[in-house]
Amino acid sequence: MASLATIFGSGAMTNSIKEIEGMEVIFTIGSNTKETHPVIANRMLKAIRKGARLIVADPRKVPLVKFAEIFLRLRPGTDVALLNGIAHVILKEGLQNDEFITERTERLEGLKKSIEAFTPEAASKITGVPKEDIIKAALLYGGSRRAGIFYTMGITQHTHGTDNVNAIANLALLTGNIGRESTGINPLRGQNNVQGACDAGCLPNVYPGYQRVDMPMVKNRFQEAWKATLSDKEGLKSTEMIKSAAEGKLKALYIMGENPLITDPNIGHTTKALENLDFLLVQDIFLTETAALADVVLPATCFAEKNGTFINTERKVQLVRKAVEPPGEAREDMRIISELSVRLGYPMNYSSSEAAFEELGNLWPALAGISYSRIRSEGIHWPCPTKDHPGTDYLYKAGFPRGRVSFSAVEYIPPAELADDEYPFVLTTGRNLFQYHSGSMTRRVAPIEAHAGEPYVEISAEDASRLGIRDGLMIRVKSRRGQIGLKALITGRVSEGLLFIPMHYKEAAANVLTSDALDPYAKTPEFKVCAVKIEKINSYEEVL
């Protein structure tokens, strides 16, 4: 999301979810929306019922494809080539929005040069998508002035994730499909409050509200507000912290409500890193795999046991209300942090979560106009600078914060690890409909476990029959980093040569296999592409 912020000034969805209904063309890329954001997919279906047309780009035949007019089944990691190819056709057919380009963008020439080579034929060769479909998609998206692009981790979890986002932005800028109602760029957030965690400043380079730590003016303002001395050195990103711990530089880690052991790439590496720490403090609601490695574990509360706010993927601040008392002696996270802080000599004293929210609003104008009482029945989209501001459904109505926005010349770079003779399959990972993330919540829900409690690897019928694998057979998937055993699920969702493993199952954790190669800018790991091989297993015991 950081890359989108670099381009436009903010890394959030530019439209609100309601606006999907008014879209003429919906273009999803690298997003299994029907499974990962089912209720947003419902809106898309509503739009389609009203006549919207859908383009889906994904290496997998994800459920949303059923509703698509055009399905671009690209090879994993070739998004840039596809997007550049589409941009090429848009320009060639003269579908660009010249007025928008002149008034609000710069460096079109650079883009033109960079996509010159990406003829539909060339793009087709790299992506495996028929060139006719690339042209059709370009005509459809480029021909509309009310089109929205949606993406998720299928775009960002690559070594070239930033490039992917830039290439998406290029399309919107070429056609002027941004800054108006029902048209824009919409990264869909995978977790309930990723947006809020970013907004609240849980990022190593910025304070709350994306205010840079390395800008003295900003730092001074926060020092004054917090009455503390602050560092102006940019901190480590989460993936860097793990690396640093492994190297012995990072000595202590305080983890609140996270399970990096399962969710980070290359589990073997993560385990070693965490074990290498002098002190690991984990605050969570369950004794997760990560918590099991901790020196101290603090019992926290879940969403139903506290008051507060979440900010969803469309920048909407919504209330969270306490419904039940926490189990045993478990305490609200805010209270735990405050008490720890007091003991470290920095007193924190909040009478309520609302007091903390108000303090945050004082430090970031985008939230300044929002109060608990205003969002009692319906949330408000930031920016909402004043108490009488209605909130902002779509961004950049009045232009981009930085004036003109640049096109980015994006070169196609293949994924870090490609299939080869030894590891002939490409593995991609992600979520399924029923489980959630590391599974610490959903795997404790009986009906979900009964229905979707078993790990599996999706494999094409062609590969399965070539290797003599029956549906439901236990197989071993191996990468250069590790191996897991799980059941084969023969499905048309994946094409020949591609495997998919959902990330949720610790007993066959996909991240044992994934590569810890990172995007050089965003430091996002390449979960979506790594090379693996598969072997048949003779007995179940062998797996264990």
Partner 1 sequence: MIKVLIDGKAGAVKEGATVLEAARMLNIPIPTLCHHPKLSPFGGCRLCIVEIKGIPRPVTSCTTPVTEGMEVTTSTPALEDLRKTVLELILSDHPNDCMLCERAGDCTLQELAYFYDVKENRFAGERRIYEKKDGNPFIERDMEKCILCGRCVNACEEIQGVSAIDFAYRGFKSKICPPYEHDLNCEFCGQCVAVCPTGALTGKGWSHKGRQKDIKEVDTTCPYCGTGCGITLHVKRNEVVRVTSKESGWNEGWLCAKGRFGYSFIGSPERLRTPLIKEAAGGFREASWDEALEYAAKRLKEIKEKHGPDSIGGLSSARCTNEDNYLFQKFMRAAIGTNNVDHCARL
Burial tier of 5 (Cβ tally within 10 Å: 0-12, 13-18, 19+): middle
Instruction: Give me the DSSP letters along 418-486.
Output: ---SSS-EEEEEE--SS--TTSTTGGG-HHHHHHH-S-EEEE-HHHHHHHTPPTT-EEEEE-SS-EEEE
Q: Which residues pair with 429 in a beta bridge?
A: 501
Count the Cβ atoms, other than its own, within 10 Å of residue 373: 8
Least distance (Å) between residue 83 CB and partner 1 = 21
Q: For residue 463, what are its two tokens?
A: 């590969």
434 touching partner 1, by CB under 8 A: yes
Fill in the per-residue mask, 386 to 405: x = in contact with partner 1 (CB under 8 A), - = not in contact.
--------------------
Q: What amino acid occupies position 293?
A: L
Nearest approach, Cβ of residue 211 and partner 1 (Å): 12
Q: What is the CB-side half-sphere exposure of residue 248 using CA atoms within 13 A?
A: 0
Least separation, in Å, of the C-beta of 269 and partner 1? Answer: 14
Query: Is residue 96 at the binding interface for partner 1, with CB under 8 A as the rule?
Result: no
Residues 35-94 that bind partner 1 (CB under 8 A): 36-42, 45-46, 49, 66-67
CB of 82 to partner 1, least distance (A): 22
Distance of closest approach, residue 277 Cβ to partner 1, in angstroms: 9
| Residue 285 in the binding site for partner 1 (CB under 8 A) | yes
Q: Does 116 bind partner 1 (CB under 8 A)?
A: no
Nearer to partner 1, 256 or 409 (CB): 256
Could you say whether residue 230 binds partner 1 (CB under 8 A)? yes
DSSP per-residue string spanning 144-207: -SSEEEEE-HHHHSSTTHHHHHHHHHHHHHHHT-SSBTTBEEEEPPSSTTHHHHHHTT-BTTEE
CA pair distance 526, 155, nearest whole angstrom:
10
Binding residues among 199-228 for partner 1 as defined by CB under 8 A: 199-205, 207-208, 213, 222, 226, 228
**Ranges within 164-193 binding partner 1 (CB under 8 A):** 188-193
How many DSSP H helices and E strands does the chain contain?
A: 21, 21
Nearer CB in complex with partner 1: 87/363: 363
Our finding on whether 517 is near partner 1 (CB under 8 A) is no
The CA–CA distances, whole Å, from 406 to 82, 100, 401, 491 equal 20, 12, 13, 42
The verdict on 255 binding partner 1 (CB under 8 A) reads yes
With CB under 8 A as the contact rule, the residue among 72, 165, 267, 297 that binds partner 1 is 297
User: Is residue 456 at the binding interface for partner 1, with CB under 8 A as the rule?
Assistant: no
Residue 126 in the binding site for partner 1 (CB under 8 A)? no
Any contact of residue 478 with partner 1 (CB under 8 A)?
no
300/304 Cα distance (integer angstroms): 12
Applying the rule CB under 8 A, the residues between 352 and 381 that interact with partner 1 are 353, 356-357, 359-360, 377-379
